[in-house]
Amino acid sequence: MQDRLIIFDTTLRDGEQSPGASMTSGEKMRIARQLERMRVDVIEAGFPAASPGDFDAVQSIAKQVKESTICALARANEKDVSLAADAIAPARLGRIHTFIATSPIHMQDKLRMTPEQVVDRTVAAVTQARNSTDDVEFSPEDAGRSDLDFLCRILEAAIDAGATTINIPDTVGYTLPGQFGQLIFDLRQRIPNSDKAVFSAHCHNDLGLAVANSLAAILNGARQVECTINGLGERAGNASLEEIVMAVRTRQDVFECDSNLDTKQIVPISRLVSNITGFSVQPNKAVVGANAFAHEAGIHQDGVIKRRETYEIMRAEDVGWAANRMVLGKHSGRTAFRERLTALGIEFTADEELDAAFARFKDLADKKHEIFDDDLQAIVTDRATEQSNERVRFVKMSIAAETGKAPRAQITLTVDGEEKSAQATGDGVVDAAFKAVEAVTPTESELLLYSVNNITSGTDAQGEVSIRLQQNGRVVNGQGSDTDIVAASVKAYINALNKLQEDHSRQFPQVGNTV
């Protein structure tokens, strides 16, 4: 029988460590639900010791996501492991992932611990974790630069203490595929109790080799891979989930295992993560880039028309590139609207949510003749960005632009229920609108990112805007969509402002990467 390849998604933990990719608890929940729908085996939902916000996010995902295992990260110390255990306690399937660095440079210069102390700490943390759950993962951080004999020793001790998954991180993306594959092979051969644990790969992309290294690990017996949607992650990112999953699925002639993933969910979740984080996907990115299945050259088009397989090794529809169908119009009713959303995998838990999304749909149908699947996705994303506790709300705006004159914007917002207006001029209509918003709600925040994507084609297409703001070291992302780019921009700006207003007084002290 063919082996199962366990897909461990760490978008919400390692992915979120990417500067600027911070997500709200609600956004994490939306991604977690999509990961569950895609049948991801393990969702690393966060690092509970990092902040009360992280703890709460892991705990609420553990309460609500029942089909995937919910994993919490913990450094190898008593407090971290105990917080991780509490956070995953409500999960139907819960895992604690504890780690400590094992490379000479990390042990000496970061941890300032001897190898013996590191082994003792590992055994204590794994033992403590096993007292709360049967599913415990251990990672020797910076394994890629660790001594093989020491790795064998510490991993044997971790398995003896009860670790059921041994994850091998190439923390700094240093190894080469042949070397990383050999490392997995050697560890499995040399550790006497290696058959008692699943071996896993966790690769970073500093040399652009994260996916290649992960595949080399699978070829050498790893049966779990840790990855993120769109390869999101610190520095050059983590191994990209979609590339690993599709490489294994497409090359079943080579791999002796496969994942259980519903690959049709790949493109929708890629868009969701990109939209929430403001990290756009490059057009030529494998599998999820806009051009991944586009054939421009005449010779290729001719071949594909005659027989698709001449130039396509995967089917676009298998990864969720649905034909962007014109689905609904102005006269479509609530039932048709709900049915189409259900077909897209979007469900509402409360009737009010459906009502609000339907009202938005009607509003859009008044402005835009044809409504496509992607428009429906945007309507729902827009709805999800609105929180009932938002302090700042958009009311109306007017824009004046004339050749030779500075554009002017007048904006009306409600702030804590009170209506306020301001006007401003700027270097373009969006700049004028942002200055008017800032005049109503002065935050002195810095704009780090402004990006616009058209959701569908045509001049009446909705624009999807992502904004990143920084205030006193805090970074937040905001999203908005509308057929009017300036309105979409203002909505995104307000969405980010509301996130800046959220209460962040409950903070743990800064978490360092030490024990």
Q: List residues binding ligand KIV (CB under 6 A).
A: 14, 99, 139, 141, 169, 171, 202, 204
306-318 b/e with 16+ CB inside 10 Å = b? eeeeeeeebebee
Told to check if 9 binds Zn ion by CB under 5 A, we report: no
For residues 92 and 235, which CB has a smaller minimum distance to Zn ion in the complex? 235
What's the CA gap between 232 and 153, in Å, rounded? 32
What's the CA gap between 264 and 335, in Å, rounded? 24
For residues 72 and 392, which CB has a smaller minimum distance to ligand KIV in the complex? 72
Per-residue tokens: 32: 């977690």
Q: Which one of Zn ion, ligand KIV, none is in contact with 242 (Cβ closer than 5 to 8 A by kind)?
A: none
Told to check if 137 binds Zn ion by CB under 5 A, we report: no
Residue pointed to by tokens 């984080």: 277
DSSP H stretches of helix in 386-414 = none
Beta sheet of 463-471, edge-to-edge order: 446-454, 463-471, 474-482
Residue 438: CB minimum distance to ligand KIV, A: 37
Closest CA to 347 of 35, 48, 34: 34
To 5 degrees, how large is the angle CA 96–CA 99–CA 101? 180
Residue 139: CB minimum distance to Zn ion, A: 9
The interface region with Zn ion, picked from 11-19, 184-192, 315-323, 326-334 by CB under 5 A, is: 11-19
Q: What is the DSSP string of 335-388?
A: HHHHHHHHHTT---SSHHHHHHHHHHHHHHHHH-S-EEHHHHHHHHHHHHH--T
Residue 204: CB minimum distance to Zn ion, A: 6
Q: Which one of Zn ion, ligand KIV, none is in contact with 390 (Cβ closer than 5 to 8 A by kind)?
A: none
Report the run of H or E that residue 243 belongs to, with start and end: helix 241-250
Q: Which one of Zn ion, ligand KIV, none is in contact with 37 (Cβ closer than 5 to 8 A by kind)?
A: none
What's the CA gap between 286 and 161, in Å, rounded? 40
Compute the CA torsion angle 412, 415, 420, 425 (nearest 10 deg). Answer: -60
Q: Which one of Zn ion, ligand KIV, none is in contact with 180 (Cβ closer than 5 to 8 A by kind)?
A: none
Residue 232: CB minimum distance to ligand KIV, A: 13
Residue 77: CB minimum distance to ligand KIV, A: 14
For residues 138 and 434, which CB has a smaller minimum distance to ligand KIV in the complex? 138
For residues 200 and 498, which CB has a smaller minimum distance to Zn ion in the complex? 200
Compute the CA torsion angle 177, 180, 186, 191 (nearest 10 deg). Answer: -150
For residues 14 and 375, which CB has a smaller minimum distance to Zn ion in the complex? 14
Q: Which one of Zn ion, ligand KIV, none is in contact with 99 (Cβ closer than 5 to 8 A by kind)?
A: ligand KIV
For residues 15 and 320, which CB has a smaller minimum distance to Zn ion in the complex? 15
Q: Which one of Zn ion, ligand KIV, none is in contact with 360 (Cβ closer than 5 to 8 A by kind)?
A: none
Told to check if 14 binds Zn ion by CB under 5 A, we report: yes
Residue 174: CB minimum distance to Zn ion, A: 13
Residue 92: CB minimum distance to ligand KIV, A: 24
Residue 28: CB minimum distance to ligand KIV, A: 17
3-state secondary structure of 470: strand
For residues 204 and 435, which CB has a smaller minimum distance to ligand KIV in the complex? 204
Q: Which one of Zn ion, ligand KIV, none is in contact with 137 (Cβ closer than 5 to 8 A by kind)?
A: none
For residues 97 and 468, which CB has a smaller minimum distance to ligand KIV in the complex? 97
How are beta strands 326-328 and 371-372 bridged, if at all?
A: antiparallel
